[in-house]
Amino acid sequence: MAARGSPRAPPTGRTGPGGRTAVPGAAPEGPPRSRAAAPGPLERRRCRYLRTGRACCQVVEALLAALILACSSVSCSPTGGYTGLPGLGGVYYYQYGGAYSGFSGADGEKAQQLDQRFYLLKLPIGRAAMAVGGCLLVFSCVLILVGVLRLPWRFPAWLLLECILDIVIAISILPALYYFFHFLLGVYSSAVCKEREQLYQSKGYQGFRCSPHGAEIAVGLSGCIAVIVYLLSAGLAVRGYRTVLKRKQKPVQLYEL
């Protein structure tokens, strides 16, 4: 009588979908691996610079320069002056408040002349402040572009030049602010401004005092903040220069400066 054979061992693999037997130790089947998420705009190689301290300082410098430019344009904008009956077909007009009444004849002509003379007195310093703000804005934008193009990594000496320029600008802003307000106070203390103020006050208008207005004060505050930001940017440029030298001696992937 033949001996019974030993029973077969049950299969160890599990039956997968479709009747296929899974191999022991093999990774379980699943949905195909999804592609890695696309990097954000600031994760790209060139845009990583925008997350650094130097880039933040330069963006703030650009914003302050734009504010100086805008406020200076308000300061030296033509007042337009008083326009009498012949000018607007029977409407008394003033740029700051719309339709006014109270001026007639010689007073209207005098107000118009005083406004024009006052505007001409403020025009030189206003244009100078606009030129300074525009130059600072262009300079900041150029620095941001240079950083995005990774020029400091190829030419580390650029960072030293940038540091020197930042220090020079920060020091130059202080006497520029002094000259700006010294000139403005001279205009506001002139006989033209005093006579203009008295003329409008005699008609009940209180918005024409001989003192700096909000836009001119904003120019001063923006300049003071810009001094601090430029000095901070100079310090970060020196630190970036040292970092570049160390990483060039022991090359590693450069993420930020």
Let me know: does 48 contact 255? Beta carbons within 8 Å. Answer: yes
Q: Which of 155-164, 188-197, 220-229 reaches the highest mean pLDDT?
A: 220-229
Rounded CA separation 240/234 (Å): 10
pLDDT value at 242 more than 50: yes
pLDDT value at 162 more than 90: yes
How is 117-142 classified by DSSP, letter by letter? HHHHHHHHHHHHHHHHHHHHHHHHHH
Residue 228 banded pLDDT, cuts 50, 70, 90:
very high
Rounded CA separation 94/50 (Å): 46
- The pLDDT, as a whole number, for residue 196 is 87
Rounded CA separation 22/180 (Å): 83
Residue at token pair 């007042």: 79
Query: Phi/psi of residue 164, each to 5°?
Result: -65, -45
Residue at token pair 């020196």: 238
Cα separations in angstroms, 228 against 6, 170, 178, 222: 90, 7, 16, 10
pLDDT value at 134 more than 60: yes
> Count of alpha carbons within 13 Å of 243, Cβ hemisphere only?
15
* H/E run at residue 98: strand 98-99
- The pLDDT, as a whole number, for residue 110 is 84
Each residue's pLDDT tens digit, 56-110? 999 999 999 999 999 998 877 765 455 443 444 333 344 444 444 466 677 778 8
Rounded CA separation 27/178 (Å): 75
Residue 42 banded pLDDT, cuts 50, 70, 90:
very low
Predicted TM-score (pTM) of the model is 0.71
Residue 4 CA, chain-centre distance (Å), reads 91
Residue at token pair 């203009």: 196
Among the listed ranges 71-80, 130-139, 164-173, which one has the minimum average pLDDT value? Answer: 71-80
Q: Which of 20-34, 48-62, 202-216 reaches the highest mean pLDDT?
A: 48-62
pLDDT value at 130 more than 60: yes
pLDDT value at 154 more than 70: yes
> b/e per residue, 181-201, with b = 16+ CB within 10 A?
bebbeebbeeebbeebbebbe
Rounded CA separation 125/183 (Å): 7
Instruction: Map residue 83 onto helix, strand or coil.
Output: strand
- The pLDDT, as a whole number, for residue 1 is 47
Average pLDDT of the chain is: 77
Each residue's pLDDT tens digit, 176-223? 999 999 999 999 999 999 998 888 888 777 778 888 888 899 999 999
Residue 8 banded pLDDT, cuts 50, 70, 90:
low
